[in-house]
Amino acid sequence: MITSGLIGALLWGVVIGCIYILLATGLNIIFGVMKLVNFAHGQLLMIGAYIAFTVTTALGLNAYLAILVAMGAVALIGVGLERFTFRRVLGTDKLNEIFVSLGLIYVFENVAVLLWGNTPQQISSPLQGLQLSLSQDIAISYDRLSAILIVIVILVALFLLLKKTKIGLAMRATSQKSNASMLMGVNIEKVYIFTFALGAALAGAAGALYGILLPFNPTIGALPTIKAFAIIIIGGLGSIPGAVIGGLLYGIAENTAVYFLGATWQDAIAFALLIIVLVIRPTGIFGEKGE
Amino acid sequence: MKKLLLDSLSSIRREVVTFSRSQKFYFVILALVIVAIVPLFVNNYTVSEVLTPMLVFAIYASSWNLLASSGQGSLGHAAFLGIGGFVSALVAIKAGVPPIIGLFLGSLLSAAVGFLIGLTCVRLKAWFLAMVTFGFSVIIVTIFSIPELDEFTRAVLGFPTPLIVDRGLPFYYLTLVIAVVSILVMYLVMKSKMGLAFKAIHQNELEAKMVGINTAKYRLIAFVISTFFAGLAGGLYAQSIRYIQVSIFDPYYSFLPLMMAVIGGLGTIEGPIIGAVIIETIESYLPRIDLLLDSLVGREGLIPLFPAVSNVGPPIRFLFLGLFLLVVVIFAPKGVAPLIRKAYNYLRSSPQEEKT
């Protein structure tokens, strides 16, 4: 019985790790291209979950189609954020980015409270209650399986976007040397807007998946941001494969730790890990890029 | 063209408005007289619920500001507020130490913990430092609330704090004295050679290192001084609300000094004080915004606006704080303090300009 419980924890770790991967990848793309850390990234996840929830309940849309709506809507919010807040402080004191993020956290969380209230909600999925049994006492629900599949599809699409398209090339060039790519005719401002919108869309998708799998309220955004941050530091700043590996490792490690130590330690463990890594390597494990 | 315009705009924004030394002196005297006299003319509730927290948070925000002046933006200062509050109350209850001594023991322990945490932080860059300090505050709250320790600290349920002096005017004046001394000490630190080193590290750590500043040492010193005063503020805060509980570690208390310092004016000595006054006023009087909204649109008018919330006061207040912070950081990166100076100079200079 112990083993089946552990396997359940590991499976759930993979599923929740996939959500962390989406969030961490978005954060990582934004950091890689713009050298900007958006601490309000988890609040975009929360907004994404609420948008998906609203379109499924109000319009009766399928929960999995609502993911696309959430991605689009959060990407638009991202465009607004980049244009009206972060661009204003980009290149000034690094502390200003932290201050802007903090202001945004307050704004998003309280707008969500005003619009949707404090009570926990969950998106109802068409696959609810169905599960695939792998053996006698190990089963995985179809919702969790499809979450893993969706994350894989999104990551493949992202990879193709970065490697095969012109805007992907421009993003990679900007992330290496923004001044040089500007001289080569890349419109940096457009690249920044696109990057931020892309990162926000990934957070929106993560939010919709989160809402399908777990109940959520306006304050769920804060911890995923920090976990995504820890994943980026473990996996390497600006590296997408690193974020994927880091996300899976983190999701599994967190859930095994909860399984053995109990839920009170869940968040403290995340930070202990983060701090140990940073004490050994102050710029992260693959941190040469981080200035 | 647009760039030129932006440059000229930002040069106007950067224009430093300074006061002469004697002017500054008179301002300080005037401010001291005001804070000493005002409580005599307001009711007891305002003294203990609004004015005393203002003083406490002025110390707290100044301590955060001192740390930020060395380029280290902490997102976990509530850890030190909480350690100061808990330790000062616990030594008074468990060991029978007089509460006023307990206050300083609490700040010393907070500084000791700050030293240890600072050791891990001195090599980190801005974002990493923010995350790690936030992480430490989560770890410290977890340690305080694990069942084995909770039997001793009673942190989860909380307990009433032993009072130094009565609430109301006596405690206000005690806090005032401590606040004036603390802020004076922080002022002297920031004006000294050490403060200059902090500023150099903030502007460019690599260059500071090149001109021979031991950056790790100075960042650690900033951490210790800052956490000492944060602990002191924690002890006073526990006294002012008369009760201490694990909720003092809430991230809200970590973000509060940041907001106060940034809104008032980062890196200045008067900034955090002005910020504390502004935020504490908002916190004390804006909760009644739902009553105001009620009277404007009526109960029936309010419900269709926000059907999901029963009490719109707190979310609107926090929304307002967030927007305020955004507007200040984006449009007035130096905070409100220079604007007040500018307004004063404008009022003084405009009659003379008319003559010439």
Chain A: closest CA distance from residue B60 (Å): 18
Q: Any CB–CB contact under 8 A between A188 and chain B? A: no
The pLDDT value recorded for residue B10 is 54
Residues B146, A264: C-beta atoms closer than 8 Å: yes
Q: Any CB–CB contact under 8 A between B286 and chain A? A: no
Residues A283, B258: C-beta atoms closer than 8 Å: no
Residues 21 through 80 of chain A touching chain B, CB cutoff 8 Å: 37, 39
What is the spatial distance between Cα B51 and Cα A223, in angstroms, rounded to a whole number? 34
What is the spatial distance between Cα A256 and Cα A16, in angstroms, rounded to a whole number? 12
Average pLDDT, integer, range B335-353? 72
| Two structure tokens written together for A281 | 């390597």
Average pLDDT, integer, range A101-127? 86
pLDDT in tens, B134-181: 888 888 888 887 777 777 777 777 788 777 777 778 888 999 999 999
Q: Any CB–CB contact under 8 A between A113 and chain B? A: yes
Q: How are the residues of chain A apportioned to helix, strand and coil, as percentages rounded to the nearest 5?
A: 75, 5, 20
Residues B333, A95: C-beta atoms closer than 8 Å: no
Q: Name residue A131's beta-bridge partners.
A: A141
- The residue of A265, A271, A273 whose CB has the most chain B CBs within 10 angstroms, and thus the best one to mutate to test that interface, is A271
Specify the residue for token string 């999104």.
A154
pTM for this entry = 0.82
Cβ neighbour number for residue A51 with a 10 Å cutoff? 23
Residues 52 through 111 of chain B touching chain A, CB cutoff 8 Å: 68, 71, 73, 75
Alpha-carbon distances, residue A259 vs A4, A263, A289 (angstroms)? 12, 8, 35
Q: Any CB–CB contact under 8 A between B118 and chain A? A: no
Q: How confident is the model at residue A85 (pLDDT cuts 50, 70, 90)?
A: confident
Alpha-carbon distances, residue B51 vs A102, B31, B57, B168, B256 (angstroms)? 26, 14, 10, 10, 16
Instruction: Single out the residue of B340, B173, B326 nearest to residue B271, CA to CA.
Output: B340
Classify B95 as helix, strand or coil: coil
Is ipTM > 0.90 here?
Answer: no
In chain A, the percentage of residues whose pLDDT exceeds 90 is 16
Helices in chain B by DSSP H: which ranges?
2-14, 21-41, 44-46, 52-68, 78-94, 99-121, 126-145, 147-153, 169-191, 193-203, 205-210, 215-241, 251-264, 270-285, 289-305, 313-331, 337-355
DSSP characters over A145-159: HHHHHHHHHHHHHHH
Q: Any CB–CB contact under 8 A between B149 and chain A? A: no
What is the spatial distance between Cα B72 and Cα B199, in angstroms, rounded to a whole number? 11
pLDDT in tens, B267-277: 888 889 988 99
Cβ neighbour number for residue A272 with a 10 Å cutoff? 17
pLDDT in tens, B63-88: 999 998 888 888 889 999 999 988 88
Give Cα A232 to chain centroid, integer Å: 11
Q: Are the C-beta atoms of residues A207 and A70 closer than 8 Å to each other?
A: yes
The pLDDT value recorded for residue B298 is 62
Cβ neighbour number for residue B160 with a 10 Å cutoff? 12
Question: Which of chain A's residues have a Cβ under 8 Å away from the Cβ of B255?
Answer: 102
pLDDT in tens, B295-315: 666 655 556 666 667 677 778
Out of B135, B145, B306, name the one closest to residue A271 (CB): B135
| Two structure tokens written together for B25 | 């002196």
Largest CA distance in chain B: 76
| Two structure tokens written together for A41 | 């990234």
| Two structure tokens written together for A33 | 């291209």
Among all residues of chain A, which has the CA nearest to that of B256? A102
What is the spatial distance between Cα A83 and Cα B37, in angstroms, rounded to a whole number? 47
Question: Which of chain B's residues have a Cβ under 8 Å away from the Cβ of A284?
Answer: 128
Out of B127, B130, B322, name the one closest to residue A103 (CB): B322
Residues B128, A104: C-beta atoms closer than 8 Å: no
Classify A291 as helix, strand or coil: coil
Q: Name residue B243's beta-bridge partners.
A: B160
What is the spatial distance between Cα B233 and Cα B238, in angstroms, rounded to a whole number? 9
Cβ neighbour number for residue A244 with a 10 Å cutoff? 21
Out of A95, A233, A264, name the one closest to residue B73 (CB): A95
Q: How confident is the model at residue B355 (pLDDT cuts 50, 70, 90)?
A: very low
- The residue of A54, A110, A267 whose CB has the most chain B CBs within 10 angstroms, and thus the best one to mutate to test that interface, is A110
Please determine, for residue A243, whether its predicted confidence score (pLDDT) is greater than 80: yes
User: Which amino acid does the sequence have at B142?
Assistant: T
Q: Any CB–CB contact under 8 A between A279 and chain B? A: yes
Q: Any CB–CB contact under 8 A between B116 and chain A? A: no
CA gyration radius for chain B? 22
Would you identify the CATH topology of the domain A2-289? ABC transporter involved in vitamin B12 uptake, BtuC (1.10.3470)
| Two structure tokens written together for B17 | 């408005």
Question: Which of chain B's residues have a Cβ under 8 Å away from the Cβ of A115?
Answer: 306, 308
Residues B132, A275: C-beta atoms closer than 8 Å: yes
Cβ neighbour number for residue B191 with a 10 Å cutoff? 11
Residues B308, A114: C-beta atoms closer than 8 Å: yes
Q: Which of the pair, B291 or A32, is modelled with greater confidence?
A: A32
Instruction: Single out the residue of A167, A170, A194 nearest to residue A26, CA to CA.
Output: A194
Provide the b/e sequence for B95-117 (b: ≥16 CB within 10 Å).
Answer: eebebeebbbbbbbbbbebbeeb
Chain A: closest CA distance from residue B224 (Å): 19
Question: Which of chain A's residues have a Cβ under 8 Å away from the Cβ of B145?
Answer: 264
Question: Which residues have a Cβ under 8 Å from the Cβ of B28 and sit 6 or more positions away?
Answer: none
Q: Are the C-beta atoms of residues A141 and A8 closer than 8 Å to each other?
A: no
Q: How many CB pairs under 8 A join A and B?
A: 132
Residues A94, B142: C-beta atoms closer than 8 Å: no
Please state the domain extents for chain A.
Answer: 2-289
Out of A111, A270, A282, name the one closest to residue B123 (CB): A282
What is the spatial distance between Cα B71 and Cα B223, in angstroms, rounded to a whole number? 11
Average pLDDT, integer, range B91-108? 86
The pLDDT value recorded for residue A285 is 62
Residues B142, A268: C-beta atoms closer than 8 Å: yes
Going B200 to B18 to B73 to B176, the CA torsion angle's sign is positive
